[in-house]
Amino acid sequence: MLSQIVRPLVNTQVRLLANSHTTQTTLVETIARWLGYLGVDAEVTKLSSESDRIHVALRVGKPDSCDDGDWSSILNNLRSPAQIENNGSNSSDKIHESHQLQIVRLLAYLIQISDPQQDMSWTDIESQLLPLNLDTSMLSGIKSAMKVPQSPDLLNSVDPDIAAVAFPIAVKIAWLDQEINSHENYALSTLLSAMK
């Protein structure tokens, strides 16, 4: 699966950075190169260490696979006053209430299929979800949805907006155990297709 291909590359890159005498230059080039693999034209404009993290600022050009109309819409949407006002708020705060139920059910489904044979307690699940910085309403929604088996039919009618919100969280949930099984792969692929 994807994790088996990507992780050794990441580990190699980390060792290269740790042993480099030009860490900043190497990291700038690495970030641009890896985004380039995805067809994204990116330039690092700022790179600094902050406590135990690295702060990176990027200038991103139109991805290869993006058509001009979509790119113009993205730029116009980012320039709108509503986007600027909401810039500092938590992404899950912006989720419309009618969509949140479907999203939490999708996320609960992903947790349930991550290891169908294992019966995890909510305490274990919640401790794994906390680093994802989900708000309390999202966590309580997932907790409620976990009480019953969620159906794979949820994936059949996902609209693009819900898929766009759920997908990045779903990827993080699928990676929690460092593996992506065939059920998770299918769910992620379906969400990705729904966004197109």
Q: Is 93 a residue whose pLDDT tops 60?
A: no
Q: Taking CA 11 as the corner, what is the angle to CA 110 and CA 115, rounded to the nearest 5 degrees?
A: 20
Instruction: Report the domain count for the chain.
Output: 2
Tokens (6 digits) for 74:
């993205």
pLDDT at 94 over 80: no
CA atoms within 13 A on the CB side of 50: 7
Instruction: For Cα atoms 124, 182, 125, give the angle at the middle one, nearest 5 degrees.
Output: 10
- Identify whether 66 is part of a domain: no
Domain that holds residue 181: 91-195
- Band the pLDDT of 91: cuts 50, 70, 90: very low
Are residues 85 and 134 in contact, defined by beta-carbon separation less than 8 angstroms? no
Confidence of residue 39 (pLDDT cuts 50, 70, 90): confident
- 37 and 99: one domain? no
* Same domain membership, residue 98 and residue 153: yes
99 shares a domain with 47: no
187 and 102 in a common domain: yes
Which residues does residue 5 pair with via DSSP β-bridges, in sequence order?
Answer: none
36 touches 24 (CB < 8 A) = no
Bridge partners of residue 50, in order along the sequence: 53
- The residues, any chain, with a CB within 8 Å of residue 152's CB and separated by 6 or more, are 109, 187
Query: Of the residues 60, 75, 108, which one is the last residue of a structural domain?
Result: 60
Q: What is the mean pLDDT of the chain?
A: 81
The answer on 103 and 45 residing in a single domain is no
- What's the CA gap between 117 and 126, in Å, rounded? 19
pTM of the model: 0.56
Specify whether 123 is located in the same domain as 162: yes
Q: Would residue 152 count as lying in a domain? A: yes
Q: Let me know if 77 is exposed, middle or buried by CB neighbors in 10 A (0-12, 13-18, 19+).
A: exposed
Tens of pLDDT, residues 54-89: 888 999 888 887 888 888 888 888 887 765 555 544
CB count within 10 Å of CB 143 equals 15
Is residue 86 a part of any domain in this protein?
no
Asked whether residue 180 falls in the same domain as residue 117, the answer is yes
Question: Could you report the per-residue pLDDT of 135-168, keeping only the tens digit for each?
Answer: 888 899 999 998 998 988 988 888 888 888 888 8
